[in-house]
Chains A and B, each alone.
Chain A
Amino acid sequence: DTAVSQTPKYLVTQMGNDKSIKCEQNLGHDTMYWYKQDSKKFLKIMFSYNNKELIINETVPNRFSPKSPDKAHLNLHINSLELGDSAVYFCASSQLRGPTSPLHFGNGTRLTVT
């Protein structure tokens, strides 16, 4: 059973389009995250949700909007895609909010904007 699953695995789209990435975890964890990994492998936190409540919103353009319908799901919607949005987006979850719980990552969504 996949613990943290993301769809789609690959996403190729043109500038200006709107796209969504879905994430689901079956671990029963309370906290979920979106991280962006750029071409230099830098993993940057974007958003964090705890029990459907937004707790972190890093300096991310307003074009990115996360939505958590329940604590097992965290989706990411991106409007008006730009070339610089090309990256691998990782969803992750942890049992607890805070620094003592390991992160479990999904397999990533490779977004390519042309």
Chain B
Amino acid sequence: QQPVQSPQAVILREGEDAVINCSSSKALYSVHWYRQKHGEAPVFLMILLKGGEQKGHEKISASFNEKKQQSSLYLTASQLSYSGTYFCGTESHQAGTALIFGKGTTLSVSS
């Protein structure tokens, strides 16, 4: 079952904050976040596991609400380099075999 991401697109100025949400109709074991810049491959940002803590590095962090089957990605004080499409990937089983990705959220940061 494909997770649902919202919003579909976000337009920011440098220094502004954004939140991207990912929700599933199924119980989740893990949520991954990736960023893809135009014409490039998706790049791993972080993994959140069931029972795990909120993750983050520098100004990008994420949370995982197991009861609501949701994850949120927080981008604070956005930089131009944050522009791209953000994908969440979910897996419902500990012994699962492949991520199912959402349709992506396009983030555009301008100066």
Contact = CB atoms under 8 A, between A and B. Distances in A.
Contacts, number: 62
A9 to B, nearest CB: 11
B101 interface: yes
Contact of B95 (A90, A98, A105): A98
Interface in A26-77: 33, 35, 40-45, 48, 50, 55-56
Interface centre among B43, B99, B100 (most CB of A within 10 A): B99
B102 to A, nearest CB: 9
Contact of A102 (B44, B98, B100, B101): B44
A39 to B, nearest CB: 12
Interface residues of A, number: 24
Contacts of B30: 99-100
B40 A99 contact: no
Interface centre among B36, B40, B93, B94 (most CB of A within 10 A): B36
B103 A45 contact: no
A22 interface: no
B11 to A, nearest CB: 17
> DSSP class of B's interface residues: helix, strand, loop or mixed?
strand
Given A103-B34, A107-B41, A43 B87 contact: yes
Contacts of B27: none
B49 interface: yes
B98 A100 contact: no
Given A40-B103, A42-B103, A99-B29, A56 B98 contact: yes
Given A43-B101, A103-B99, 11 more contacts: A40-B103, A43-B42, A45-B100, A98-B97, A99-B29, A99-B47, A100-B47, A100-B49, A102-B44, A105-B42, A108-B41
Interface of B: 29-30, 32, 34, 36, 40-44, 47, 49, 85, 87, 89, 91, 93-101, 103-104
